[in-house]
Amino acid sequence: TGFITLDSGFMNTASCTSDITYLDGKKGILNYRGYPIEELAANCSFTEVAYLILHGELPTFEALEAFKHDMRRFALLHEDMIHFFDHFPPNASPMSILSTTVNSLHNYYPEMDEDDDPYGGYTVTAARLLSKTRTIAAFSYKKSIGHPLVYPSPRLNYCENFLNMMFDRPNLPYKIQPEIVSALNKLLILHADHEQNCSTSTVRLVGSSGANLYASISAGVSALWGPLHGGANQAVIEMLENIYADDKDFEKYIEKAKDKNDTFRLTGFGHRVYKTFDPRAKIIKQACDDIFEKLELHDPLLDIAKELEERVSSDDYFLERNLYPNVDFYSGIIYRAMGIPTDMFPVMFALGRLPGWIAQWTEMKEDRDRIGRPRQIYTGEIKREFVPMKDR
């Protein structure tokens, strides 16, 4: 009833109220539950930040230990689920495997009664989902390269466990490097929530119909997959590789991105909400320099990225439109340094974003949000005479 306003892309429409993430796109501020990401990334573990996002408070030592204990006890997948991985084609996209497998978790772990949860909310379910998704991600990689699976270890922390499941081999034990663990921890923290972005809105919208958490998160993974959203970290690396292979012809790519008759964009630049440097990208760029220096690494793509950023930063087209590097611009270069394959970068984004998706889904439930049901402005014909088949 009343006026319906067109707001395609939801440029100016709030779909909910939320206490989880504060974002000021003009000043480049991002706070989770009131805490600046800079401080969280410098001082916390990803598990601690996940707890903060889920509960609204930083955990006490005991609360964090209990949460970690749950993560450890839920880390295994039901053995039957392992057969899933055998039936994807060898080159299957890790995002499609993730979305499918997360969806099916509901069949194996249907119990998620809020009242049965000793800590309140959906803490136990959240720990289960966070822990199992990490195992799914690593198993999908091992299966894709035909290596034996490495099971989660109760002695390793969240990030160490992931890296070990990805890279340990019977004939070549993986040596956990603290610098890599610390960089991964930082990256996951910086992806942990970002208010009502495309995938989070999807999680809320699917959940608003009463669909279960796993189904809602699986839809979020699908939304994240696209190159304008979480798929951008993969697309950035592919773009940098192309520039490198193209004799570093930066201008060709910059001009193509500016051409309004061409759909090509410089991936890793621009953001719906930030009209300044993405605060996450600032930290990631620094983390990138730190890890390359500490581990004495070199990647020509880092040089390409820096030169591209420099050229773009003095180009009127990008300045006039406030197009600065976003979270996806430098993250892929760190994932590459860790040995993570390019097609798994969006999976890394999904692992980081899980606490946010779960917290937003829970908030939507607690606030008893209505079913999400946007309206439309109909532009077709109102009523036409039916034409029988013989007369068409």
CB of 361 to ligand CMC, least distance (A): 18
CB of 315 to ligand CMC, least distance (A): 10
Q: Which of 55, 271, 278, 343 is catalytic?
A: 271
DSSP per residue, 150-186 = ----TTS-HHHHHHHHHH-BTTB-----HHHHHHHHH
Q: Does 328 bind ligand CMC (CB under 6 A)?
A: yes
Whether 328 sits among the annotated catalytic residues: the reply is yes
Which region among 78-86, 176-184, 324-332, 370-378 touches ligand CMC (by CB under 6 A)?
324-332
Q: Are 198 and 229 in contact (CB under 8 A)?
A: yes
Q: HSE (CB half, 13 Å, CA atoms) of 140?
A: 26
Distance of alpha carbon 390 from alpha carbon 378, whole angstroms:
29
Give the DSSP H/E element, type plus range, for residue 135. helix 123-144
| By the rule CB under 6 A, 327 interacts with ligand CMC | yes
Total residues in contact with ligand CMC, by rule CB under 6 A? 20
The yes or no reply on residue 269 touching ligand CMC (CB under 6 A) is yes
* For ligand CMC, the closer CB: 59 or 268: 268
Q: Which of residues 175-204 bind ligand CMC (CB under 6 A)?
A: 197
Helix (H) or strand (E) holding 252: helix 250-258
Burial class (CB in 10 A: 0-12, 13-18, 19+), 13: exposed
**Segment lying near ligand CMC (by CB under 6 A), choices 102-110, 163-171, 178-186, 320-328:** 320-328
- Which lies closer to ligand CMC via its Cβ, residue 128 or residue 280? 280
- Please report whether residue 333 would count as binding ligand CMC according to CB under 6 A: no
- Min separation Cβ 264 and ligand CMC, Å: 8
Beta strands in 14-60 (DSSP E): 21-24, 29-32, 35-36
Which residue number, 160 or 343, has a Cβ lying nearer to ligand CMC? 343
Which of 103, 105, 83 is closest to 95 using CA atoms? 103
Is the CB of 149 or the CB of 273 nearer to ligand CMC? 273
What helix, strand, coil percent values describe the chain, rounded to 5?
Answer: 55, 5, 40
Closest by Cα among 295, 181, 302 to 237? 302
214 forms part of the interface with ligand CMC (CB under 6 A)? no
Comparison of 69 and 256: residue with beta carbon closer to ligand CMC: 256
Shortest Cβ 171–ligand CMC spacing (Å): 38
User: Which residue do the tokens 């609204």 mark?
Assistant: 56
Interaction between residue 9 and ligand CMC (CB under 6 A): yes
Annotated catalytic residue: which of 328, 343, 367, 369?
Answer: 328
* Closer CB to ligand CMC, 51 or 253, in the complex: 253
Tell me how far, at minimum, the Cβ of 140 lies from ligand CMC, in Å.
21
User: Rounded to whole angstroms, what are the CA distances from 391 to 248, 380, 384, 387, 388?
Assistant: 60, 22, 14, 6, 6
Nearest residue relative to ligand CMC (C-beta): 270
Q: H or E segment at 81?
A: helix 79-86
Please indicate whether residue 316 is annotated as part of the active site: no
Q: Which residues does residue 23 pair with via DSSP β-bridges, in sequence order?
A: 30
Using the minimum distance from each CB to ligand CMC, give the nearer residue, 147 or 265. Answer: 265
Residues 223-262 interacting with ligand CMC (rule: CB under 6 A): 228-230, 232, 257
Q: How far apart are CA 163 and CA 168, in angstroms?
A: 8
Catalytic residues: 271, 328
**Which positions touch ligand CMC (CB under 6 A)?**
9, 197, 228-230, 232, 257, 265-272, 321, 323, 326-328
